[in-house]
Structure formats: C-alpha cells, structure tokens
Amino acid sequence: MKSWLTRIKQATYNTTFMYNLRMVIAFAGTAFVPYFMGHQIATIPLTLGVVAAGLSDIDDRFSVRIMNLIYTYIGFFITATSVYFLFPYPILFALGLIVSCIGWILLGSLGRRYATISYGCLVISVYSMLGVGLFDHWYIQPLLLVIGAAWYGVISTISFLLFPVRQVQDKLSQCYSSLGDFLFAKSNLFDVDMTPHSYQQSMIELSLENGKLVGIFNEMKTALLTRLKGDRGQKDTRRSLQYYFVAQDIHERADSAHIDYQKLGKIFEHSDILFRFQRILFIQAKACKDLSHSILHRETYQHNKRFKHAFANLKLSLEKLRTEQQYDQVWVNALFSLYQNLKAIDAQLRNVETERHIKFDRTKHIENQLKDDDLKGWDDIVIRIKQQLTPESVLFRHAIRVSIVLLIGYIFVQVSNIEYGYWVLLTALFVSQPNFNATKRRLRLRIVGTLVGIILGYAILYFIPSIEGQLLLLILSGVLFFELRSKQYAQATAFITILAMINFNLDGVGFAAAVPRMIDTLIGCALAWFGVSFIFPDWKFRRLSRTINRSLTAQCNYLAEVAEQYKHGRNNGLKYRVIRRTAHNNDAEVASLISTLATEPDFDPTQKALAFEFLCLNHTLLSYIAALGAHREKIEDQEVLTLLDLALKNIQGSLLKDEAPDLNAQNMLDTIRQRLSSNNKDDQKALIVLQQLSLMLSILNQLSRLKQSLSHDRDDKATELASL
C-alpha cells in the first residue's frame, strides 16, 4: 500500500504527466459528453475551444487567473459572434479582420497576459470562420467555443489550487538546468587545444546560452512577482525567491572572466592547471543539473563530495605555480581570483538547502525585492500603446504584416471559392512569426507535419471507422499536440491535423477534407513567406547600431554601479540587480539579433564576420565587469578608487562617444600595480580591480572599432529605406 502511495505522490511531482492528464480530461469531456448526449457535431467547437484556451493559458495567482479567464471568455464570445454577423458582408468582414487583427496584436504590448489572451482571440476568429455554417442559430457556436474554453479553465484552475507553486518550481528547475548548460559552455573556454576559430565558436555558444538563461530568469521573475503580490509570506514562495537570488549570484560569478582565455591556453598549455579548472566547472554544471532535478522531484539536493578533493588539488597546483616563479605573477594572481570565484559558487551550491539560505530575513528585505513591470494605470496603457505605433516597433510590423496576409488570404478564398479555404488563414496565422528566420523554419515544419498528419489521419479514418475509436484518437492527438507544440513543431502539426480530420469526419467530410487541407496549408505557408519577405521585412528596419549602443550603455551603467560599491561596500539591493539584469538582457538581445541577422538574405558576409567578432567581445566585456562585480568589496585605497573613476570615464568615452582612449588610466594602473603586494590581503582586493580594469582597457580599441564598423553602412541603408 505504501509503495502505491509513494508512486502516486511521485507521479504528482511529474509536471509532464500531470499536464497531459489535465489535457486528457479536457479532450475526453469535449469528445464523449456530446457523444452520450447524441449531439456529436458539438464536439467540433468544444474541442476547438479547448485548443484555443490551452494556447492562451497563462500562469498567475488565483485572483488574477480568474480575471484572465473572464477576459478570455468575453473576448472569445465577442470574436466568434462578430465573425458570424459580419460573415455575409465581405467588405465589412475584411475591414473587421484588419482592425481586429492589428488591435489584438498591439494589445500584446501591455504585457504577457494580454498577449496570450489576444492570441487566443485571433485563433478563435479563424476557428469561427471554419464552423460558421455548422449551426442554425448565431449564438450556438460562440457558446460552445466558450463552454469548451471554460471546461479547460475549470480543469486548469483545479490543478492550480491543488499545486499552487508548481509553475514556480518548474521555472526554478529550468533556471538551474539552464545554468548548468551555461557552465558546460563556460568550461569549453579552458580547452588547452583551442584555436582562434574554436575559441570564437565557444564564445558564441556561451553568449547564446547566456541569452537563454537570461530569458528564463525573466520568466522566473514574472512568476515569482505575481505570487508575491498575492501571498506576502508563503513559505514555498519565499523559498523559491531565495533559490532565484542564489541562481543569479551564481550566474554573475559563472559569467565572470578574470583572464584572457586565449592567452591563458597558450601560457599554461603544458600545465595541469587548466584541466583542473575545466573539471571543476564541469562538475559544477552537473551539480546545477542535479539541483534542477531535485527541485523538480521535490527531493533534497546532495552536494557532490568530489568537490572537496578537486578544490584541494587545484589549490595545491596554484600554490606550486606561485612558488616556482616560472610564470608571470599577474597570471597566477588572476588564477587565484578565479579559484576564489569558483569556491564561492561551490559555497552557494553547498548551502542552498540550508535554513540560513531559504529563511526569509526581514532585515534584508531590501535585498529580496523584485522590480514590478506591471501596468500602473491608464496613462501607462496609453504610453505603451503609443510606443508601438511606429514601423520601428517589431510588434507593429508584425501586426501590419499578419493583418495584410490574412486579408490577402480572405480575398483569395472569396475569389477562388476554394474548398475549406479558411484553413489558408489558419495556416498563415500559425506560421507567421515576428522575424524571418523563425517564420522560414516554421514553414518547412508546418508543411512536413501537415503531410504526415494527413497520411496518418487518412489511415485512421479508413482502418478505424467507429466513432468511439476515432474519439479516443482525437483525445490522444490533442494531448500530443500540446505536449509537442513547443518542442517538436512538425510532430505537433501532424497531431493537430489528425485532430482536425477526425473533427471534420464527425460532420461526414473527413476523407474529402484531406487533400484541401494540404493545398490550403501550402497556400497559407506561401502567404506567410510573402508577408515576412516583403511586408515590412525585418532586415530593412533593424538598427544593429541602436541595439549595440543599448548594450554598451547598459554595460557602462553596470560598471558604474560596481565602481560605486567598491567605494561604499557590497549591496545586493534592487537597484544593483536591475542594472545587472539590464546589462545581461541587452547582451542577450545583441546575441539574438546577430544570430538572426546572419540567416537573413541581405546580410553581407563581411558584416557577418564583424558582427560575430563583436558578439564575442561584447560578452567578454560583460564577463570582465561581472568578475569585478563578483568580488566587489569596499576598498580604502584612494588611488585605486580614483583609477576606477578614470577607467570608467575612459570606457564610457570610447564606447559611447567614439572618443580615442587616452593612456592615463593604463599608466596609472601600471604605477599602482608596482607598489602592491600579493601577500597583503587589502592589496589582493586592489589587485583584482587592477586586473579586471587592465582586461577591459586591453579590448577597448578593438571593441570601439567594431562598433563603428557595424554602425554606419547598415544604418545608412536602413534610414534610406525607412524614409521611402
């Protein structure tokens, strides 16, 4: 009996299992309730209502979740009703399609909850077109769509009440898993056989992993913030908050760079020291993965016992380097700083489960705050909408592009009278993404998935003619669609196609719908490709220089805040964490933009090489600042503090104002370094500052030159195109 209870308990900890169970219940209700009531045709709008509700589901605290559901149902009903009444009037319908499409997409600028609700309403609008002739009365289809959505809402709300912090813990698990991936990527920089090309590839990989991690941190912050607003002192929420702060601290230390890794590999290529650092980073990455697993399965994290032995041997190797006097002491001191940083990460991981880390300390409330980005009132709503009303806005371009694509699709359907033509609009809506690369990728996957789905669907309808069997496969297809939609888009498309064919077979036209589905998919994909290629194409409105300037400005602000803390002492308050997060967000934006631009048709190969070179150096600068931030402590040496201010001014002038860097900071740095001793504790703190400033100044000229090279030509072209 006990073993069964244990298994049931473990099953409830399995997020995937519980999510799929929720979807099984939802689709089983929409499939079999109409079957037993003898009104099978109702399965179609009920099922589509569940799909739309599932696509627009969003995690939030209970009170806001209820409001979200109410807004969603009102939006679904109004949208479906509008489609029904405007459908007989093509001109009015076309105007309504454009206005509603632009309006729903721009509504997404108000925040994540509005973006998901508006997307669900767009999906419902096309679903309503597909079923506009199914029922005699205007209110039946809108009501059934809303009932299907409400049925899903009831199940998801019950799931939330049973497991209120499940979503937060899942996000937290993702944070540590991504942190592990980041540390794995970081360990590659300690490869002694690294070539310049492999070093650049490793830096690009590290920068992209950093972007993924920062994105997950942002999602985690949103999930925590909404819980903290509704529950001021719940133990699990506070515990998750402390885990989140620990993850951020580990990230700052993990992203730190105390040395030029390329030179490091050459200098110590015949020593065991780099292998030892690489091994510790590797097992720390594994420890983050283990912690992620522990959080996900509600188990106690056990710190790896190998760390103690690995750190002891690393310290012996470092002390041997210092006594041998074979290497420049600047390099040895930098390795000692790196050792201290890795020890600090080890301490964070070792103590993450202890009470002193998870207990909320009200005396440190200032260090346990999160920045609230929610709407503050009508003025904030107006400001956010106005900010999007320009072709420079990605959201605005996407809104115009999708609305025009849907309008063209609608006109085509009206003129050609193509069978099941509204699948064209549905395909175009699902495939169209804000950027060229993502849309192009979805085009291929959508076509392949639809073809596979039609073949399988045709086989299902032929070999399983019974309604009961088809309804069971409808449930399975719906569950697999939701399970795979964010992981394997082609497979998800195949299963939603099977679901659609079974739905249409309930109306007696399943076999007849197979070929039109494929044709409509090809036409819809062609329209989506046309839209992303010729209607406000992204590459004509991109401002690489603007993104670069934002990133460099954020990094200079980060450096300025770190410098202030060397004057007044370490402070992990909200201001510091916001500035640090902004620097990482902008670095991630640079990485995302450059990797996307590299796939677009008009990106010059020379510019591409320069862009990736800048990407590596930009993240290198951030790593140097992060190392300075990781070791920040109050320093009494006024000369070092003066040097910090001078170096900051020099870096800001060079990167933000294109001024030529002077040598005063470097000369002052060399002078101070000569009088400091690595045996003195206070001097050791100052030496870390000098080392990091020296690294920043060493890449300043190259970084400034790359910034200027990437700015002028592309921006001149973009400005000319935007003014036409």
The pLDDT tens digits for 623-672 are 999 999 988 888 888 888 999 999 999 999 999 988 877 777 788 888 88
How crowded is residue 366: how many other Cβ atoms within 10 Å of its Cβ?
Answer: 11
Which residue is associated with the tokens 């934006």? 589
Are the beta carbons of 407 and 125 closer than 8 angstroms?
A: no
Q: Which amino acid is at 487?
A: K
- The 3-state secondary structure of 136-194 reads CCCCHHHHHHHHHHHHHHHHHHHHHHHCCCHHHHHHHHHHHHHHHHHHHHHHHHHCCCC
Scanning the structure block, which residue is given the tokens 């700052």?
A: 252
Cα 171 vs. chain centroid, distance in angstroms?
A: 11
Tokens read off for 343: 């020890």
Q: What's the rounded Cα separation, in Å, for the pair 651 and 429?
A: 46
> Distance (Å, rounded) from C-alpha 350 to C-alpha 342?
12
Residue 519: DSSP 8-state: H
Q: Reduce the DSSP state of residue 48 to 3 states and report it.
A: helix
Grouping H, G, I as helix, E, B as strand and the rest as coil, residue 433 is: coil
Question: Alpha-carbon distance 599 to 496, whole Å?
Answer: 29
Question: 153 Cβ partners below 8 Å, 6+ apart?
Answer: 53, 69, 72, 73
Contact 258, 303 (CB under 8 A): no
Helix (H) or strand (E) holding 75: helix 62-86
Q: Side chain identity at 303, as an amino acid letter?
A: H
pLDDT for position 165 = 80
Amino acid at 254: A
- Our measurement of the distance from residue 636's CA atom to the centroid of its chain's CA atoms, rounded to an integer in Å, reads 41
Predicted pLDDT at 369: 61
**Region for 573 from its dihedrals, namely left if φ exceeds 0, alpha if ψ lies in -120 to 50, beta otherwise:** beta
Q: Residue 541: what pLDDT? A: 67
CA distance 364 to 357: 12
Q: How far apart are CA 355 and CA 444, in angstroms?
A: 51
Would you state the structure tokens that stand for residue 26, as one six-digit string? 């939802």
C-alpha to C-alpha distance for 2 and 433, rounded to whole angstroms: 50
CB 644, CB 694: distance < 8 Å = no
List all residues 6 or more positions away from 308 whose beta carbon is below 8 Å from its beta carbon. Answer: none
Q: What residues contact 99, with CB distance under 8 A and at least 6 apart?
A: none
Q: Which is nearest to 186 in space by CA: 282, 102, 110, 262?
A: 282
* Residue 379: how many other CB atoms lie within 10 Å: 9
Among 313, 303, 378, 301, smallest CA distance to 339 is for 313
> For 104-123, b where at least 16 C-beta lie within 10 A, e where not — what string?
bbbbbbbbbbbbbbbbbbbb
Is 171 buried (19+), middle (13-18) or exposed (0-12) by CB count in 10 A? Answer: buried
Q: Is 353 exposed, middle or buried (0-12, 13-18, 19+ CB in 10 A)?
A: middle
Taking a C-beta distance cutoff of 8 angstroms, is the pair 38, 128 a contact?
Answer: no
Q: How far apart are CA 597 and CA 608, in angstroms?
A: 8
Q: How far apart are CA 720 and CA 716, in angstroms?
A: 6
CB-based contacts of 71: which residues, under 8 Å, 6+ apart?
117
Output the pLDDT for position 721.
38
Enter the tokens of residue 42: 């109702």
Angle at 175 between CA 277 and CA 546, to 5 degrees: 90
d(CA 314, CA 321): 11
Q: What pLDDT is stored for residue 680 in this prediction?
A: 66
Per-residue tokens: 183: 């540390």
Residue 646: phi, psi to the nearest 5?
-65, -45
Please report, as a single letter, which amino acid is at residue 25. I
Residue type, 597: L
Residue with tokens 């006097």: 325
Distances (CA, A) of 487 to 95, 101, 493, 661: 36, 27, 11, 47
Instruction: List the domains of the chain with CATH numbers.
Output: 2-162+435-503 (no CATH), 166-193+222-368 (no CATH), 541-722 (1.20.58)
Distance CA 690, CA 621 (A): 15
Q: How many CA within 13 A on the CB side of residue 263? A: 13
Sequence-ordered alpha helix ranges (H) in 325-393: 329-351, 355-358, 378-388
- Residues 621, 696: contact at Cβ < 8 Å? yes
Residue ranges of the chain with per-residue pLDDT less than 50: 1, 232-233, 355-367, 714-724
Compute CA distances 289 → 172, 255, 308, 398, 531, whole Å. Answer: 12, 17, 19, 37, 41
Residue 364: the pLDDT is 45
**What SS3 string covers 639-701?**
HHHHHHHHHHHHHHHHHHCCCCCCCHHHHHHHHHHHHCCCCCHHHHHHHHHHHHHHHHHHHHH
Q: Are 628 and 617 in contact (CB under 8 A)?
A: no
Please measure the distance between the N-terminal and C-terminal CA atoms of the chain and give it in whole angstroms.
75
DSSP label of 42: G
**Those residues with Cβ within 8 angstroms of residue 299's Cβ, 6 or more apart along the chain or in another chain:** 293
Helix (H) / strand (E) element for 580: namely helix 574-597
- Residue 60: predicted pLDDT: 78
Model confidence pLDDT, tens digit, residues 508-537:
777 777 888 899 999 999 999 999 988 988
Q: What is the CA radius of gyration of the chain?
A: 29
**Number of residues assigned to the chain:** 724
Three-state secondary structure of 244-287: HHHHHHHHHHHCCCCCCHHHHHHHCCCCCHHHHHHHHHHHHHHH
